[in-house]
Structure 1
Amino acid sequence: MVVGGLRRALTRRAQDTTPTFRREDRGAAAVEFAIVVIPLLYLVFGIINYGYMLAFRQSVSQAAAEGARAAAVAPAGLPEADLRQRAAEAVDGALESYDVSCEVTSGLLMHGDEESGTCQITGPVTCSGSTTGAQCMRVELDYTYADDPLLPDVGYGIVLPDHLKFASEVQVS
């Protein structure tokens, strides 16, 4: 009989240590989790969206610099149309991972098949601030990010820029 009494005592003790919940507390943890996880996920996706925009911003800046450099180091005597084409190809190469390209003839930046800004390639022209009359190639890119964001807009437009605009000027050798 000692074994039976011990079993009852242990069972009673186990029942005494288990937490008791009132009927109205059931599901409270799930509701609290839902209340916390929604803003948390919105914040996490906002950080991802902003980081993607910053990476694209850097690529647009780099594309302008590469386009101007590609035209500036071209062999002497090339027609202006060929210089512009070289610059546009360099811009396209820098932005191809975002599906953005520069249309030389129309002066437009295209995201896929949609117009997304301007792509102005000029030169050779007198360099800005030059006192010697040096000739430069200039590439100016203006992407309208507010109208054509790279990721779907779910309310982050307040903190993202309207335009990503960069220009680069390189002296022709």
Structure 2
Amino acid sequence: MTGILKRLRRDRAGAAGIEFAILAPIVFSLVFSTFEAGWIMTQSIMLDRAVSRGSRALQVTGSNFTYDDFKKKVCDEAIILTNCIKSIRIEFTPISKSTDFPTSETSCVDRSVNIDPVTTYTGGQRSQIVFARACYVVDPLVPGLGYGLALPKDNTGGVRLTSRFAFVNEPG
């Protein structure tokens, strides 16, 4: 029996496999978390850019945009946001004094129901400040690993990306 134990102690076959089995999950978790963080950040930046450019179009043309027109404009600008029309909710609030800014959380689409409730959409008057808020719900790439596991999710497993933008309509 002691001879068998001495032979097993000297045998190094499989040592690399054990190291791989211990370190691979950690390395893969870091790599996938990096991809996840980059993808979420890219989508968030595209949402901000799209809301900004859509708001600029509204500023210049006045309040000729309907809610659907503005939503389509934002989704056309945000090229990488998949299923944008169904996953985004936009809200406009004209501001007349500093206390009119919304203090509640930005409302998002509830993907568990087929109803899309109406949100406030008023393009505002000429020379008026308008506060725009948008919320886009996106699914994480790897929800059960690393960064995707740590993100706060809604009841459908989606992550909320929000954008806020204030602007002044062009004078008439």
State whether TM-score is above 0.5.
Answer: yes
**Is the CA contact (8 Å cut-off) linking 1:102 and 1:109 kept in structure 2?**
no
CA distance in 1, matches of 2:140, 2:127: 38
Equivalence map 1:43-58=2 (5 Å)? 43-58=30-45
CA distance in 1, matches of 2:50, 2:151: 20
The equivalent of 1:151 in structure 2 is 141
The answer for unaligned runs of 5 or more in structure 1 is: 1-20, 127-132
Kindly provide the CA deviation profile for residues 146-169 of structure 1, in whole angstroms up to 9, marking residues without a partner as x.
Answer: xx4241312334543553221223
State the 1:120 CA deviation.
5.2
The structure 2 residue matched to 1:92, chosen from 68, 72, 75, is 75
Which structure has the highest strand share of the two?
1
**Is the CA contact (8 Å cut-off) linking 2:129 and 2:167 kept in structure 1?**
yes
Letter in 2 for 1:153: P
Letter in 2 for 1:139: A
Which is further off, 135-144 or 61-70? Answer: 135-144
CA distance in 1, matches of 2:56, 2:118: 15
**Are residue 139 (structure 1) and residue 132 (structure 2) matched?**
yes
The equivalent of 1:160 in structure 2 is 151
Letter in 1 for 2:74: V
- CA shift in 2, pair 1:22/1:39, >3 Å: same
State the 1:86 CA deviation.
3.6
Letter in 1 for 2:151: L
CA distance in 2, matches of 1:139, 1:31: 54
Q: Give 3-state SS (helix, strand or coil) of 2:122's partner.
A: strand
The equivalent of 1:72 in structure 2 is 59
The equivalent of 2:20 in structure 1 is 33
CA distance in 1, matches of 2:118, 2:152: 18
**Is the CA contact (8 Å cut-off) linking 2:75 and 2:81 kept in structure 1?**
no
State the 1:91 CA deviation.
0.7
Structure 2 length normalisation: TM-score?
A: 0.60
CA distance in 1, matches of 2:58, 2:135: 19
Structure 1 length normalisation: TM-score?
A: 0.60
Kindly provide the CA deviation profile for residues 11-68 of structure 1, in whole angstroms up to 9, marking residues without a partner as x.
Answer: xxxxxxxxxx965321112211222222111111111111111111111111221221
* Higher Rg of the two aligned structures: 1
CA distance in 2, matches of 1:119, 1:47: 36
The answer for unaligned runs of 5 or more in structure 2 is: 1-7, 91-106, 154-159
**Identity between Structure 1 and Structure 2 (%):** 20
Kindly provide the CA deviation profile for residues 100-148 of structure 1, in whole angstroms up to 9, marking residues without a partner as x.
Answer: 4246xx86977x9x97x9995633326xxxxxx832454311234xxx4
Letter in 1 for 2:165: S
CA distance in 2, matches of 1:149, 1:119: 23
